[in-house]
């Protein structure tokens, strides 16, 4: 809860809130290939909505349907309550930044950015003002007169971004807007986008392959796979409470342990997962039946490593260190259990590397709490 | 050494097949008409040595060029050729652009076939194709017979032996030269550019004028020059399809050479024609150059 007591922005939890965008059982097929499979999704005004998913899962297709370049094979798309079916792309309150940038090669950077503004018949000096503002934002003032083939890939990406932002649409679709930028510029632009969103109240739908980026900017994230939405939730819930093994595995690093669960008693289950290993005690709100096949997902940073079995540990297993990945501030230890299974544990490097307490082949204990992981239906 | 050879070869080619013939024509244009074989003088006599050479050059003059300016037939013929060529080029553009556009928008598996259909006429002789237009356009030709049969007209249209027939002939003959460069420019264009234009608020028509058309401009320019340049000097089409009132410099040239047997004047006509053509050829090259720079 923010300090001033203002309500948290969460229209998706409000049953009365009207979504800005609604996908209603949308299916898109190319020939007999299904690119989007019965998708139902609400996106609310002022959201910063991120689409995450492997290459080819249908992210661009979804955006193209919103912008009006593809028509759904089945189902309907609503924007602001209006069925978009009969609305031509140039009539939609939507601007899209193309994954391929689609800059006009015969126009200069300046003219590319001014293109949409000119179509609206705005007065000349207003257009000039706006274009200058956009150029400043993406730091391309010096390149205003260049043609797209005379600038670098990252600069082209920024022109495409500026061009889509220039018209200040109600809804902006950004297909991998920052992929070609260096880390510093990317971070700056992320904040710039969040700032624009704050100021103008524009709704953003953004495709990204960068999970950290999605976590930073998004109000909610949709994780997609093969044309289906696997989970839609806030970044923290996606990370901490994944709905299924796919999402747990796709977002961040995770230990996935397959096993058979006992029936839930007091929201607590016992998961039998390997011969000779103590059952995992875990908390869950899911209604799990006795003997059901489940996945237990736990993040490496929630797994502690120690030389002896901690006295108070609910879940613990002994193994030997197989591998250590040094990441600067963190180290990830790969611990192999006698069953052959490898558990990853991530620990902060509070000491210098030369004084690291563990090394390869050391016998150690990994342990985690009852609430550390999630029980997922397999 | 090999490198020099590679560079020298095209130059030798140009020298042998363009520059030498041109110099011969230039020399004839500076000579005087004479009743002999060949029908002009002076002739260069290498056995006369240095004196003979000096004598030879002293006899060359610009008389024929002066003559061309005195008789208004010639400059009228130049102007009329230019006019016919320009109009025919614009007509070819009007016919060719939609065809190129249609080809570029067609499903990609059809494109080779469509391309084939455009090139196919080249497989028969140009002369035969022009003759067959005579069969179509003449008073008893297929076109008139068809129109009479449909009842659209009651008298046959007089098209044959008029300038209209020349236009039809030029448009027909040079259409592929217009279609191919425009098609190649349009085909290179990324469809997402049109989507982006629409996304930014253009109607389809606006997107065409603001994106498709400018991006095909180099193809249009190339196509226009490829049609314009040979049309100016065109001889076969006006002499087979045109009438007595169709004045074109190619026809004048032919008559000078073969009817009047005045080689010197005919050569002067040819030299000036070449001088006129050099301008569009240079412009054409500049356009190609610019296009290469934009692509690279
Ligand atoms: N016009 C089309 N015809 C046939 N198949 C298509 C077409 N457009 C997309 N597809 C297919 O639909 C699937 C989804 O494509 P889409 O472009 O939406 O993927 P994406 O999630 O954006 O991937 P990436 O992250 O690589 O950009 C892909 O398998 C793609 O091959
Ligand atoms: Mg994509």
Q: Whose CA is nearest to atom 14 of ligand 1?
A: A58
A7 belongs to a structural domain = no
- Mean pLDDT, chain B, whole residue set: 90
Asked if A165 and A32 sit in the same domain, the reply is yes
Kindly state whether B190 is in contact with chain A, defined as any CB-CB distance less than 8 angstroms: yes
- Which residues on chain A are in Cβ contact (under 8 Å) with B197? 104, 115
Q: For tokens 């709100």, name the residue.
A: A285
Q: Is the pLDDT of residue A4 over 70?
A: no
Asked if A267 and A288 sit in the same domain, the reply is yes
First-last CA distance in chain A: 34
Enter the ipTM.
Answer: 0.81
C-beta of A58 in contact with ligand 1 (< 6 A): yes
Going across the sheet that includes A374-377, the strands are A280-283, A268-272, A255-261, A293-298, A374-377
A4 belongs to a structural domain = no
Q: Which of A224, A245, A266 is a domain's end point?
A: A245
Is domain B71-295 given the CATH code 1.10.3720.10 in the classification? yes
Asked if A90 and A192 sit in the same domain, the reply is yes
Q: Is B162 helix (H, G, I), strand (E, B) or coil?
A: coil
Q: CA A128 → CA A122, A125, A131, distances in Å?
A: 10, 5, 5
Q: Report domain extents, chain B.
A: 71-295
Eight-state DSSP code of residue A18: P
A94-97/A171-175 β-pairing: parallel
Q: How far apart are CA A291 and CA A46, in angstroms?
A: 44
Q: How far apart are CA A249 and CA B81, in angstroms?
A: 76
Asked if A219 and A123 sit in the same domain, the reply is yes
A117 belongs to a structural domain = yes
Asked if A258 and A150 sit in the same domain, the reply is no
Asked if A261 and A241 sit in the same domain, the reply is no
Per-residue pLDDT tens over the stretch B145-157: 999 999 888 888 8
A220-225/A48-52 β-pairing: parallel
Cis upstream peptide for B95 (omega within 30°): no
Asked if A91 and A227 sit in the same domain, the reply is yes
Smallest CA-to-CA distance from A193 within A222, A218, A220 is with A218
Tokens linked to A257: 């342990």
Q: Is there a contact between A373 and A254 (Cβ–Cβ < 8 Å)? A: no
pLDDT of A349 reads 84
What are the residue ranges of helices labelled H in A41-182?
Answer: 59-67, 109-119, 124-137, 153-166
Domain of residue A362, residue span: 253-377
Q: Is the pLDDT of residue A317 over 50?
A: yes
- Record the pTM: 0.82
Q: Which of A196, A221, A245 is a domain's end point?
A: A245
Cross-strand pairs, A221: A50, A233
For residue A57, give the CATH number of its domain: 3.40.50.300
Kindly state whether B214 is in contact with chain A, defined as any CB-CB distance less than 8 angstroms: yes
Query: What average pLDDT does range A351-370 have in this prediction?
Result: 82
Query: What average pLDDT does range A291-310 have in this prediction?
Result: 90
Asked if A238 and A262 sit in the same domain, the reply is no
A3 belongs to a structural domain = no
Asked if A155 and A215 sit in the same domain, the reply is yes
Per-residue pLDDT tens over the stretch A38-69: 999 999 999 999 999 999 999 999 999 999 99
Q: How many Å lie between the alpha carbon of A303 and the closest alpha carbon of chain B? A: 48
Cβ count near A221 (within 10 Å): 27
What is the band of A2 on the pLDDT scale with cuts at 50, 70, 90? Answer: very low
Percentage of the residues of chain A whose pLDDT score is greater than 90: 55
Q: Is A224 helix (H, G, I), strand (E, B) or coil?
A: strand
Q: How far apart are CA A98 and CA A105, in angstroms?
A: 15
Helices (H) and strands (E) in chain B, counts: 16, 2
Q: From B216, which residue of chain A is nearest by alpha-carbon distance?
A: A106
A290 belongs to a structural domain = yes
Asked if A71 and A110 sit in the same domain, the reply is yes
Eight-state DSSP code of residue B121: G
Say if the Cβ atoms of A115 and B199 lie within 8 Å. no
Tokens linked to A242: 């994944």
Please count the structural domains in chain A. Answer: 2
Say if the Cβ atoms of B195 and A120 lie within 8 Å. no
């Amino acid at each position: 809860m923010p300090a001033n007591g203002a309500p948290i922005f969460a229209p998706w939890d409000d049953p009365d809130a009207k979504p800005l965008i609604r996908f209603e059982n949308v299916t898109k097929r190319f020939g007999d290939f299904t690119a989007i499979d019965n998708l139902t999704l609400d996106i609310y005004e002022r959201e910063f909505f991120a689409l995450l998913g492997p290459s080819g899962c249908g992210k661009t297709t979804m955006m193209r349907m919103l912008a009006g370049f593809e028509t759904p094979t089945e189902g309907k798309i609503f924007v602001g309550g209006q069925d978009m079916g009969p609305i031509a792309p140039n009539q939609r309150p939507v601007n899209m930044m193309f994954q391929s940038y689609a800059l006009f090669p015969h126009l200069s950077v300046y003219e590319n950015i001014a293109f949409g503004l000119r179509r609206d018949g705005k007065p000349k000096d207003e257009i000039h003002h706006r274009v200058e503002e956009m150029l400043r934002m993406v730091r391309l003032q010096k390149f205003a007169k260049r043609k797209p083939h005379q600038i670098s890939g990252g600069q082209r990406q920024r022109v495409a971004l500026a061009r889509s932002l220039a018209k200040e649409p109600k809804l902006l679709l950004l297909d991998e807007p920052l992929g070609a930028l260096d880390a510093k510029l990317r971070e700056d632009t992320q904040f710039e986008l969040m700032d624009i969103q704050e100021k103008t109240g524009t709704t953003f739908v953004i495709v990204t392959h960068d999970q950290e980026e999605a976590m930073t900017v998004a109000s909610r994230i949709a994780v997609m796979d093969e044309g289906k939405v696997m989970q839609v939730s806030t970044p923290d819930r996606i990370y901490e409470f994944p709905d299924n093994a796919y999402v747990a595995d796709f977002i961040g690093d995770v230990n996935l342990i397959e096993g058979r669960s006992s029936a839930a008693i007091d929201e607590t289950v016992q998961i039998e997962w390997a011969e000779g290993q103590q059952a995992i005690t875990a908390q869950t709100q899911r209604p799990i039946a006795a003997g059901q096949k489940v996945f237990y997902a736990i993040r490496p940073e929630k797994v502690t490593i120690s030389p002896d079995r901690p006295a108070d540990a609910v879940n613990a297993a002994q193994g030997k260190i197989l591998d250590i990945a040094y990441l600067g501030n963190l180290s990830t230890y790969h611990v192999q259990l006698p069953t052959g299974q490898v558990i990853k544990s991530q620990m902060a490097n509070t000491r210098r590397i030369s004084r690291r307490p563990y090394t390869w082949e050391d016998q150690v204990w990994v342990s985690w709490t009852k609430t550390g992981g999630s029980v997922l239906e397999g | 050494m090999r490198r020099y050879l590679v560079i020298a070869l095209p130059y030798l080619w140009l020298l042998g097949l363009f520059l030498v013939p041109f110099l011969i024509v230039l020399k004839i244009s500076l000579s005087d008409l004479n009743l002999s074989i060949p029908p002009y003088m002076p002739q260069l006599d290498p056995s006369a040595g240095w004196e003979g050479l000096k004598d030879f050059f002293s006899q060359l003059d610009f008389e024929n060029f002066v003559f061309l300016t005195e008789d208004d037939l010639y400059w009228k013929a130049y102007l009329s050729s230019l006019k016919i060529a320009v109009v025919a080029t614009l007509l070819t553009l009007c016919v060719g652009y939609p065809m190129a556009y249609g080809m570029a928008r067609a499903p990609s598996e059809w494109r080779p076939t469509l391309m084939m259909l455009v090139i196919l006429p080249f497989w028969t002789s140009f002369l035969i194709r022009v003759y067959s237009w005579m069969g179509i356009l003449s008073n008893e030709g297929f076109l008139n017979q068809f129109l009479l049969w449909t009842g659209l007209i009651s008298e046959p249209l007089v098209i044959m032996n008029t300038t209209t027939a020349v236009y039809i002939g030029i448009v027909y003959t040079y259409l592929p030269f217009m279609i191919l460069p425009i098609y190649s420019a349009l085909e290179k264009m990324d469809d997402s550019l049109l989507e982006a234009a629409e996304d930014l608020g253009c109607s389809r028509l606006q997107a065409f004028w603001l994106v498709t058309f400018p991006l095909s401009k180099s193809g249009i320019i190339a196509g226009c020059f490829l049609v314009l340049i040979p049309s100016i000097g065109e001889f076969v089409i006006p002499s087979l399809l045109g009438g007595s009132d169709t004045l074109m410099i190619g026809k004048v040239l032919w008559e000078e050479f073969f009817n009047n047997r005045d080689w010197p004047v005919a050569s002067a006509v040819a030299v000036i024609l070449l001088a006129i053509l050099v301008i569009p050829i240079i412009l054409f090259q500049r356009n190609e150059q610019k296009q290469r720079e934009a692509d690279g």
